[in-house]
Structure 1
């Protein structure tokens, strides 16, 4: 910085004001300093700057599964909003593992991030203690965590699944299989509750043998679907609680010699780019990904700027049922497995 000051014939304080935006500088002086910076090739020391200003202009972002298109899309939106606000993003993935989650949150805190945006892997006492000790601005996305009272952007999961299940019931299906995500997560529990609520509204019993846990994973969902399809009385329709699991569902239907929707109707939580490229085109619940990312980023920016109210804000968004070709009215005579 001293070399820049000498080259521009100004004080070090004036150079600092231009680089850090800490004080007004005349256009003529700013132009001279910027030219000197270009000539000398000066690059500011981010670590030194963060120590001086008490901020790294970095937000830690942790998602549950980076291979899931829902999370990658949300990450892209959050990064775009924060970049325009002058913040960088440090990204981690907990891979649906609470142990890894705790390690990564501590890593982000050690890197002196200014705030955190988290999609938690599940209820986690250690995470609660870490966040309480760090006392950083925090926003939860997609999932809530018992005992963590902070800003959040989530979907009305129960209502979305209840509507999708009601749609399948309206097509005459009475044995609807359900491939659930992990019940250690709020999304897993809420979506299953929506399925149960739709059955109750239709005055149908909840049958445990129609529910299998797929853990939000393709392979687990494949095994769970095989169990359903080889049962004594197989379901005529299957709902998958996320987009990765529906891939496992469709593979199982194909491998066992059945067809969708001729033999088994299928619907899934999460819309994704290839849902209308699948054959048949998949009926899905679309999440407002753009709104989730934008509002999560804005919540953390408001906290960082001191604009947020003392009481945490919880934004609950609505999903949209995208009816395509993978569900049809029930067949009265189900085809036997070859």
Structure 2
């Protein structure tokens, strides 16, 4: 009976050491890839590991180090391809370094964002990659600063005084979108988005508006931005079109907004790009395969994830100094949904902006 109980428990590092005839310290070195161990001892340890089915206990070793080999990731949501792909890439990069990834979504709630970062601090994560609901001044970033946590802020941020930051160059991308649309004769354009307080939303709107008006002072730009609920944006867009507005181009600041706009076009029998042009920030598979294919601003997900992880591990390993702010260039793919305006120049000449939508 005693033998069966012994076999049922999880093999320990001491079991491996006993079977291989070496010390537990030698087993630990082999498991961590230390190259100074004698080849014969490496072989014996590996044979014992295979025979016993031994797996290292990460909790036990992490407790000895005071911090676990865990990276925490907080994102607003996982429904979009952008954040889904981002988390997948961050997980791969963490595992390449021998770390595990724990991901949580704050569901676009700053209160939940704060609750999650408190829990991650309790778990003694080695570091955090934070994509905040709004910007670098939110509760999670503030809590990380107060408790001297290692972290990198990505996406909805431009720069920070404590943490390294990585995001897409939203302003430059939106400037290029404005150039393309104005260059194709569009003079009445609608911008739709979500989260007016987010740093990236503001950068996209401001960059687009400033460039369009600089190139064509007579153009009209309408802006519809809901705070957090896609349903509120959908209702606002529908009401906008119902009262007779017909811009020649729509620029959506996020992928779901692009789908909202396209759905409203089809309800009214409008064709892209004959009746209205459409371009969205963030690419998605459906935008590539639908007809017509939808023009998109493509964010460099892999570059953002790679830079974020490189900077995070540098901080974990003790690098000091001023924080670095990195902006990654986006690509503009003008697919079939963008064409030359057939509606001519609007009259009036003054920019018009609808008020932000409250939800």
Q: Encode CA deviations 1:214-248: one digit per residue, 9 max, x unaligned.
A: 45765344223213322344212111001111011
Report if the CA contact (8 A) 2:160-2:325 is conserved. Answer: no
For 2:18 and 2:316, locate their aligned partners in 1 and report how far apart those are by CA, in whole Å.
36
SS of the residue aligned with 1:275?
A: helix
Alignment partners' CA distance in 1, 2:102 and 2:159: 25
Question: 2:234 maps to which residue?
Answer: 222
Change (3 A) 1:313 1:257: same
Q: Residue 282 of structure 1 corresponds to which residue in structure 2?
A: 294
Unaligned ranges ≥5, structure 1: none
Residues 199 and 205, structure 1, Cα contact 8 Å, conserved in 2: no
Matched, 1:151 2:164: yes
- State the SS of the aligned residue for 1:274: helix
What is residue 142 of structure 1 aligned with on the other side?
155
After TM superposition, give the deviation of residue 333 of structure 1 in Å. Answer: 8.1
Matched with 2:180 is 167
CA contact (8 A) 1:217 1:245 kept: no
1:279 CA drift (Å)? 1.2
SS at match of 1:183: coil
Counterpart of 2:349? none
Instruction: Spell out the pairing of 1:74-113 with structure 2 (5 A cutoff).
Output: 74-113=86-125
Instruction: Structure 2: give runs of 5+ residues left out of the alignment.
Output: 1-12, 346-359
- TM-superposed deviation, 1:273: 2.4
CA distance in 2, matches of 1:24, 1:85: 20
The superposition leaves residues 146-195 of structure 1 with CA deviations (integer Å, 9 ceiling, x where unpaired) of: 86631011122111112102211111111101102211110111111112
Q: 1:161 and 1:234, CA in 2 relative to 1: closer, same or farther beyond 3 A?
A: same
**How far off is 1:68 after superposition?**
0.8
TM-score by length of 2: 0.85
The answer to which of 179-188 and 9-18 deviates more is: 9-18
1:76 and 1:257 mapped to 2: Cα distance?
38
Match of residue 71, structure 1, among 69, 76, 83: 83
Q: 1:215 to 1:279 in 2, by over 3 A?
A: farther
Equivalent position to 1:186, from 196, 199, 203:
199
Between Structure 1 and Structure 2, how many residues are aligned?
332
Change (3 A) 1:332 1:14: closer
The residue that corresponds to 1:322 in the other structure is: 333
Query: Does 2:56 match 1:33?
Result: no
Find the counterpart in structure 1 of residue 310 from structure 2. 298
CA distance in 1, matches of 2:23, 2:315: 35
Q: 1:146 to 1:27 in 2, by over 3 A?
A: closer
Q: Does the CA-based 8 Å contact 1:220-1:248 persist in structure 2? A: no
Tell me: CA distance 1:147–1:276, structure 2 relative to 1, closer, same or farther (3 Å). Answer: closer
- Shift in Å, 1:206: 7.8
Structure 1 residue 119 corresponds to structure 2 residue 128: no
Taking only aligned residues, the RMSD between alpha carbons, in angstroms, comes to: 2.3
